[in-house]
């Protein structure tokens, strides 16, 4: 089949391991490392974990598999995939939501990803040494609002992302994630061991794991599902795009399960790396950016050999973010490259430039240009919330509805069992889930995201 670039065959991942590295790379991101552990600890520890795991298996895996099915069957970017599988219908609009989400997600995600590079720099040049909490807070807030410096790091991060995507599926995405993902795993295990062997670490384990079922209510359940979606990269066609590069001989169901479990395992490992240390130093854990950019530097400062651990921690964050940003950029590149026949290179350059411009406005909205805000929300908050609360759930809902109700069941099952060559015993269960269970559950998250139930504002990183 013709690729984005005329006269070359469409690209694909070269191996099963490559597929898993790339897809797990997309899934494992900033969302796993600081958001999951904290949300879990706050919302019932072990009880939240069980709820989360149930959602990952019952809804996350089928939704991920749905995206793979659509992508591999159509051999197209998200817009082209719906066009090809449902010609003459309104379904391609779902693909457009995905391409739009690629812009909105990258614009704020690369702001934060850029911060990790600044903190790498601060660590390497010993600028975080012996700072009191107040100074660390100052360092962070001044930096974030300072304008040109966060913009510079964001541009660097976008260039790195663009560089990898420019090199293509096999030589760029697959090759780089095959190196970065094992490194990430190694780092997070090393940090986990260091953290859990600190005296007093047990309190942190309790925070993370002690089950408190009284905390599990409808709101927390919906939050768990929302977190599962963001963490598994579901809902904007990232996995349709990656699915379109999976070879016909690969087992899609197994891939979806492996990637989802890997993502969950790394989220838990992140909790094991962060909370035992936080509690060992008798610090109250805080949520969001301050956990990573204020609390943790404080802890590393007091820990023997802390600078080394701090260095590898920020490398870990940067890697986690990079393997995610390339997967989001690839959606835009696949769309422009294929649908508008630009070819990969031109599509990469143009989308990188366009997203960088939107990203710069986002970063500036947090400091020098507060007028970049709508309805009282800075551009940063607005894009974060629109993506997590509106675009992703809407996209995810449409994708499972498409697979459950629009595609022919034989066609879906044929894609899952590789036209009869695999056994795929769970395929009927999958069909039931995508027809009924998943749409209802996702619709609930979506309504919650819009605030209709008033459970949660929801949707922070
Ligand atoms: N899953 C990533 C994280 O946990 C973020 C991400 C990458 C994402 N690609 C996505 C989220 C696509 C939603 C859709 O940080």
SS (H, E, C) 98-156: HHHHHHHHHHHHHHHHHHHHHHHHHHHCCCCCCCCHHHHHHHHHHHHCCCHHHHHHHHH
Q: How far apart are CA 237 and CA 231, in angstroms?
A: 14
- Cα-to-centroid distance, 126 and ligand 1 (Å): 31
- Pick the closest to residue 441 from 56, 59, 97, 57 (CA basis): 59
Q: In this predicted structure, what is the pLDDT of residue 143? A: 95
Nearest CA to ligand 1 atom 14: 233
Give CA–CA dist 314/153, Å, rounded. 14
Closest residue by CA, ligand 1 atom 3? 29
Report the Cα 106 to chain-centroid distance in Å.
Answer: 11
The arithmetic mean of pLDDT across residues 33-54, rounded, is: 87
What is the pLDDT at residue 8? 80
Q: 17 alpha carbon to ligand 1 midpoint, in Å?
A: 20
Ligand 1 center from residue 230 Cα (angstroms)? 5
Cα 160 versus chain centre, distance: 17
CA of 233 from ligand 1 middle (Å) equals 4
Does residue 327 contact residue 310 with C-beta atoms inside 8 Å? no
- The pLDDT tens digits for 197-224 are 999 999 999 988 988 899 888 778 877 8
Q: Please give the helix or strand (H or E) that residue 438 lies within, else none.
A: helix 438-449
Task: State in Å: Cα 23 to ligand 1 middle.
Answer: 10
Residue nearest to atom 8 of ligand 1 (CA): 233
Model confidence pLDDT, tens digit, residues 120-172: 999 999 888 888 889 999 999 999 999 899 999 999 999 999 999 999 999 99
3-state secondary structure of 377: strand
Query: Would you state the pLDDT for residue 457?
Result: 46
Residues with CB under 6 A from ligand 1: 26-27, 29-32, 230-231, 233, 235-236, 238, 324, 327-328, 392
CA-wise closest residue to 209 among 271, 286, 279: 271
What count of Cα atoms within 13 Å lies in the side-chain half-sphere of residue 92? 15
Residue 458 binned pLDDT confidence (cut-offs 50, 70, 90) = very low
Q: How many helices (H) and strands (E) does the chain have?
A: 23, 2
- Residue given tokens 């069941």 in the structure block: 409
| Whole-number pLDDT of residue 1 | 61
CA-nearest residue for atom 13, ligand 1, is 233
- Residue 408: the pLDDT is 97
Tokens of 62: 């089928």
CB 11 within 8 A of CB 168: yes
Q: How far is residue 386's CA from residue 383's CA, in Å, rounded to a whole number?
A: 5
On the 0-12 / 13-18 / 19+ scale of CB atoms within 10 A, 405 is exposed
CA of 134 to the centre of ligand 1 (A): 32
Residue nearest to atom 12 of ligand 1 (CA): 233
**Across 246-260, average pLDDT:** 97
- Position 188 scores a pLDDT of 93
CA 392 / ligand 1 centre spacing (Å): 10
Residues 6+ apart with CB under 8 A from 223: 39, 43, 455, 456, 458
Q: Point out the least confidently predicted range of 214-223, 301-310, 341-350, 389-398.
A: 214-223
| pLDDT surpassing 70 at residue 456 | no
For 304-317, the pLDDT digits (tens) are 888 999 999 999 99
459: left (phi over 0), alpha (psi -120 to 50) or beta: left
Residue of the CA atom closest to atom 11 of ligand 1:
233
Atom of ligand 1 nearest to the CA of 321: 15
Cα angle for residues 146, 152, 158 (degrees, 5° grid): 130
- 461 — pLDDT class (breaks 50, 70, 90): very low
179 pLDDT higher than 50: yes
CA of 27 to the centre of ligand 1 (A): 6
Which pLDDT value is given to residue 453?
58
Strand-pair partners of 9: 2
Q: Can you say how many angstroms the Cα of residue 370 is from the centroid of all Cα atoms in its chain? A: 27
Instruction: Report which ligand 1 atom has the smallest distance to the Cα of 229.
Output: 13
Q: What does the radius of gyration of the chain's CA atoms come to, in whole angstroms?
A: 21
Report the percentage of the chain scoring pLDDT > 90: 69
Residue 460, pLDDT > 50, answer no
Atom of ligand 1 nearest to the CA of 239: 12
Q: How many Å lie between the centroid of ligand 1 and the Cα of residue 240? A: 13
Categorize the per-residue pLDDT at 370 as very low, low, confident or very high, splitting at 50, 70 and 90: confident
C-alpha to C-alpha distance for 108 and 72, rounded to whole angstroms? 29
Residues ≥6 apart with Cβ < 8 Å to 271 = 36, 37, 40, 41, 208
Q: Give the mutation target among 23, 25, 28, 29 for probing the ligand 1 site: most ligand atoms within 8 A of CB.
A: 29
The CA-atom distances, in angstroms, between 332 and each of 12, 24, 381, 389 are 17, 19, 22, 20
| Confidence class for position 248, pLDDT limits 50, 70, 90 | very high
Nearest-atom index, ligand 1, CA of 32: 4
Decide: 219 and 388 in contact? Cβ < 8 Å: no
Lowest mean pLDDT of 259-273, 283-297, 322-336, 417-431, name the range.
Answer: 283-297
What is the phi/psi pair of residue 377, to 5°? Answer: -100, 135
pLDDT attached to residue 83 = 97
d(CA 96, CA 74): 16
Confidence of residue 426 (pLDDT cuts 50, 70, 90): very high
Q: Give residue for tokens 């835009």.
A: 332
Mean predicted lDDT score pLDDT of the chain: 91
The percentage of residues in the chain with a pLDDT greater than 70, rounded to a whole number, is 97
Q: Determine the atom of ligand 1 nearest the C-alpha atom of 461.
A: 15
Which atom of ligand 1 sits closest to the CA of residue 234? 14
Confidence class for position 454, pLDDT limits 50, 70, 90 = low
How many angstroms does the Cα of residue 235 sit away from the middle of ligand 1?
9
CB 396 within 8 A of CB 229: yes
- CA angle, 255 then 259 then 262, to 5°: 140
């Amino acid at each position: 089949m013709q690729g984005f670039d005329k006269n070359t065959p469409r690209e694909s991942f070269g191996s099963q391991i490559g597929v898993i590295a790339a897809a797990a790379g997309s899934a494992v991101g900033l969302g796993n490392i600081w958001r999951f552990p904290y949300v879990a600890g706050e919302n019932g520890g072990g009880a939240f974990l069980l709820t989360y795991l149930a959602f990952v298996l019952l809804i996350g895996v089928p939704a991920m598999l749905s995206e793979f099915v659509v992508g591999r069957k159509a051999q197209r970017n998200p817009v082209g995939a719906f066009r090809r599988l449902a010609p003459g219908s309104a379904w391609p609009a779902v693909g457009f939501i995905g391409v739009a989400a690629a812009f909105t997600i990258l614009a704020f995600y690369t702001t934060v990803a850029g911060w990790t590079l600044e903190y790498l720099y601060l660590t390497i040049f010993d600028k975080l040494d012996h700072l009191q909490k107040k100074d660390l807070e100052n360092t962070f807030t001044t930096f974030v609002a300072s304008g040109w410096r966060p913009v510079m790091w964001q541009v660097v991060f976008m260039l790195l992302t663009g560089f990898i995507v420019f090199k293509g599926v096999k030589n760029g995405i697959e090759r780089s994630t095959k190196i970065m993902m094992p490194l990430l795993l190694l780092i997070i295990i090393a940090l986990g061991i260091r953290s859990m062997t600190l005296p007093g670490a047990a309190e942190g384990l309790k925070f993370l794991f002690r089950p408190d079922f009284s905390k599990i209510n409808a709101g927390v359940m919906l939050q768990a599902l929302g977190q599962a979606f963001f963490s598994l990269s579901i809902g904007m066609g990232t996995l349709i795009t990656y699915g379109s590069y999976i070879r016909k001989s690969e087992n899609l169901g197994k891939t979806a399960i492996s990637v989802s479990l890997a993502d969950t395992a790394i989220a838990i490992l992140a909790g094991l790396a962060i909370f035992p240390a936080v509690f060992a130093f008798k610090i109250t854990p805080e949520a969001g950016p301050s956990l990573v950019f204020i609390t943790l530097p404080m802890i590393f400062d007091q820990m023997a050999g802390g600078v080394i651990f701090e260095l590898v921690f920020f490398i870990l964050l940067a890697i986690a973010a990079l393997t995610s940003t390339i997967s989001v950029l690839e959606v835009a590149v696949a769309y422009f490259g294929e649908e508008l026949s630009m070819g990969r290179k031109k599509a990469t350059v143009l989308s990188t430039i366009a997203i960088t411009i939107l990203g710069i406005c986002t970063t500036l909205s947090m400091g020098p240009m507060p007028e970049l805000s709508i309805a009282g929300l800075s551009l940063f908050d607005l894009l974060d919330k629109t993506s997590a609360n509106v675009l992703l759930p809407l996209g995810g809902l449409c994708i499972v509805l498409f697979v459950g109700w629009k595609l022919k069941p034989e066609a879906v099952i044929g894609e899952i069992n590789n036209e009869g060559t695999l056994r795929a015993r769970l395929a009927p269960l999958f069909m039931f889930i995508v027809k009924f269970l998943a749409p209802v559950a996702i619709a609930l998250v979506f309504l919650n995201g819009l605030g209709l139930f008033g459970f949660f504002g929801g949707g922070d990183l």
